[in-house]
Amino acid sequence: MSDSNNPPKEAAAGSSGPRFNISTPSNVGRSYVNNSPVFPGYGSGTNAANAANAANATSANNANNVTNPTVATNATAQSDTTDSDCVDPSDSLGIHPQRMPDGHHFDKTIPLLIQPDSLVSRTYPLLHRVIAGRLRTSLALRGGRPVSRCSHKYSLGASRMIQKKYRPDSHCFQMNVRREPSRSRKLDENQKAEERLAGMCKRLRRTVRLSGRIGSGGFGTVFLAHKHTPNGQANFAIKVQEHNTIATMEFVGQTENEMMFFEEGGNVRYIPREAMIMLLLTRSPRFPTLHSVYTEKDKIAIVMSACMDYDTLQLSEAMNEWDNAWAVEGFHLRTPTKKPRLNELEACKVSTQLLEAFAYLRDMNLTYDDLSYRNYLVGENLDTELIDFGLMGFGLNDRDFMNPFYTYLFWQEYQLPPEVAVELLKPERRKQVRETPGGIVHVNCRNDTRQTALWKYAVEVFCLLHGYAPWEDPKYDRAIGTVGDFAVKIINNRYKEPHESYDQGKRWDAAYARRKRMINEELAVREDLSQDCVDALRTMLQRDPEQRPRLSELTSFPWFGQWAYHIDRLFERPDIPRECFERR
């Protein structure tokens, strides 16, 4: 059983997706390279020819160099001459090639896994081959453009007149600048967005035109941006978030957000883990493409491709950075009255592409732990992208993915698995949820995080096909809404649940009734679905977690991929009423 969650044996460096046992028609398949746009660099002169040359260079060099990436070859790195960083050959960067890292820590393990002679690479040669190959391919496709681009420099202390200055993404700045974590989380949504925009790299701000705010939350604000190039208008999504150095996060005892990245030539930069993951995903169209990172002293801007409708991009010409620029999320594919907007074949396309994304991540021993209807975007042709890589699981072996408890969050009630529902029905747990601020409770329920992620995926597939969650009452009641948002109210323009309403009222009664159905009743599915679809749903959503399929088994189900046989059909996303966007 454990081997089924390891990277598939047939996976190779730079592989372009899951190896489904179903046979997709050859004229439907598309090259991931052709679908990964290489955006022109700011002032770099990069154009389509550069992209073509980079792609050619990749095919020629990848085979020879996949196990020999351009990185520092030992535990030290030469001085970063671009900003006179205080790293010299005698300074340790915390990289010990002949030691086995803690498998949970992606940021500590990846710098070792891309070195062919490290102990972890020799122990896990296939994982090294996949990750090193994908990173080399990504850098080749960039045509020499640096990843981290903000060149502003700052002193390390108060005596600014006499000290050297360093880039915020440098090793010296990250290890020596320590301050209180950003106060942005104490502000409301609009205040956070304003502060983040003010802290964005000024060079980036002058280079692009912002024309809308795609979304904003506790950990970042995403703006729609444009830049005119010789090849036309390039469109970007720019995620701006707080920058807390390695020293700051270690001081407060929290996991670092930044990780080490070796530029070509050996220069050491620190970029967000999310950006590093996106670099490794460059060849897959199931994810946004990373353009660059701009690290300022207080804020970080991650520039990536934008999954936006053509009409939205046209309207953005008359918009400013504070106008709403709406992207179509999975949430919009169901109506507020519990009706699906997609038919079975259309839902099959979206579901299959999400599964492709999961399989592409699994090749690198990564799991997507934060799947919800807000974390994937759907284009006009139902092409789907998984977004937001802030919560990712990583491990070297099965033990690294075992979690002794399940974290229950009340706004994820619709994704609740039956084994956790059993625990939450206990009177003492109900009291605990009611009295816990934020409604976040750790439930003693040992689980494999890879399987937990697949359960969330199965719930999303069910919702796409039904318009409501598994075991939810299909009848719409305005006073209850749907279990996907039953615990959410709008208070002062923010989505939250007042403390006094936890675990009380008609909506919570509906939630508890659903939990009991999860334990005592078989899953009810639509009668008009195909047998392959019904079999997939019932198998993925079995109440016994030991009987649920692993990812390697799931990709062989005949229902997934069936949309690809309808090559004569134009897939087109249904129109989404404007009020559905305003509701979110």
What is the C-alpha R_g of the chain?
24
Reported confidence tier of residue 503, pLDDT bands at 50, 70, 90: low
* Residue 391: strand, helix, or coil: coil
* Residue (of 139, 146, 148, 141) closest to 69 by Cα position: 139
Which one has a higher pLDDT value, 310 or 560?
560
**Element holding 578 (H helix, E strand):** helix 578-583
Cα three-residue angle 386-555-137, rounded to 5 degrees: 55
The C-alpha atoms of residue 530 and residue 31 are separated, in whole angstroms, by: 30
**Element holding 535 (H helix, E strand):** helix 531-540
19-41: average pLDDT: 34
The C-alpha atoms of residue 505 and residue 92 are separated, in whole angstroms, by: 57
> Distance from first CA to last CA of the chain, Å, rounded?
41
What pLDDT does residue 68 have?
36
Cα three-residue angle 305-312-304, rounded to 5 degrees: 10
What pLDDT does residue 84 have?
46
What pLDDT does residue 34 have?
30
Please identify which residue in the block is written with the tokens 């939810």.
Answer: 472
* Residue 406: strand, helix, or coil: strand
pTM: 0.84
pLDDT of 44 > 50? The answer is no
What number does CATH give the domain 106-318? 3.30.200.20
pLDDT of 543 > 50? The answer is yes
Largest CA distance in the chain: 76
| Helices 531-540/449-466 angle, 10° precision | 140
CB within 8 A of 191, min separation 6: which ones?
none
What pLDDT does residue 307 have?
93
pLDDT of 36 > 90? The answer is no
Cβ pair 382, 349 in contact under 8 A: yes
Best-predicted range by mean pLDDT among 160-164, 278-282, 489-493? Answer: 278-282
The C-alpha atoms of residue 61 and residue 69 are separated, in whole angstroms, by: 11
Cβ pair 528, 555 in contact under 8 A: no
C-alpha 299, offset from chain centre: 19
Residue spans in the chain of domains classed CATH 3.30.200.20: 106-318
Which one has a higher pLDDT value, 258 or 440?
258
The C-alpha atoms of residue 92 and residue 74 are separated, in whole angstroms, by: 10
User: Strand pairing of 290-295 and 268-272?
Assistant: unpaired
No. of helices (H) and no. of strands (E), the chain:
18, 19
Reported confidence tier of residue 131, pLDDT bands at 50, 70, 90: very high
Reported confidence tier of residue 488, pLDDT bands at 50, 70, 90: low
Phi-psi region of 422 (alpha: psi -120 to 50; beta: other; left: phi over 0): alpha
* Residue (of 135, 439, 107) closest to 260 by Cα position: 107
What pLDDT does residue 164 have?
86
Cα three-residue angle 85-204-288, rounded to 5 degrees: 95
Q: What is the DSSP string of 437-497?
A: GGGEEEE---EEHHHHHHHHHHHHHHHHHHSS-TT--SS--TTT--TTTTT-EEETTEEE-
Q: What is the pLDDT of residues 344-364, one digit of tens each?
A: 999 999 999 999 999 999 999
* Residue (of 536, 514, 512) closest to 525 by Cα position: 536
The C-alpha atoms of residue 174 and residue 245 are separated, in whole angstroms, by: 5
What pLDDT does residue 14 have?
37
What pLDDT does residue 69 have?
35
Cα three-residue angle 392-394-399, rounded to 5 degrees: 130
Q: What is the pLDDT of residues 225-273, one digit of tens each?
A: 999 888 888 999 999 999 999 999 988 888 878 999 988 777 889 999 9
Please give the DSSP secondary-structure letter assigned to residue 229. Answer: E
191-218: average pLDDT: 92
Buried b (16+ CB within 10 A) or exposed e, 488-508: eeeeeeeeebeeeebbeeebb
Please give the DSSP secondary-structure letter assigned to residue 37. Answer: -
The C-alpha atoms of residue 163 and residue 182 are separated, in whole angstroms, by: 24
The C-alpha atoms of residue 162 and residue 167 are separated, in whole angstroms, by: 16
C-alpha 42, offset from chain centre: 25
Which of these ranges, 95-104, 110-119, 549-558, has the smallest mean pLDDT?
A: 95-104
Domain covering 330-581, topology: Transferase(Phosphotransferase); domain 1 (1.10.510)
Does 349 count as an annotated binding residue?
Answer: no
Residue spans in the chain of domains classed CATH 1.10.510.10: 330-581
Please identify which residue in the block is written with the tokens 């050619």.
Answer: 56
What pLDDT does residue 478 have?
87
What pLDDT does residue 50 have?
37
Instruction: Tell me the β-bridge partners of 420.
Output: none
* Residue 303: strand, helix, or coil: strand
* Residue 318: strand, helix, or coil: helix
| Helices 106-113/273-280 angle, 10° precision | 40
The C-alpha atoms of residue 169 and residue 300 are separated, in whole angstroms, by: 10
pLDDT of 375 > 90? The answer is yes
| Helices 449-466/344-362 angle, 10° precision | 160
Cβ pair 203, 151 in contact under 8 A: yes
The C-alpha atoms of residue 323 and residue 420 are separated, in whole angstroms, by: 41
Give burial (CB, 10 Å; 0-12/13-18/19+) of 76.
Answer: middle
Mean pLDDT of the chain: 81
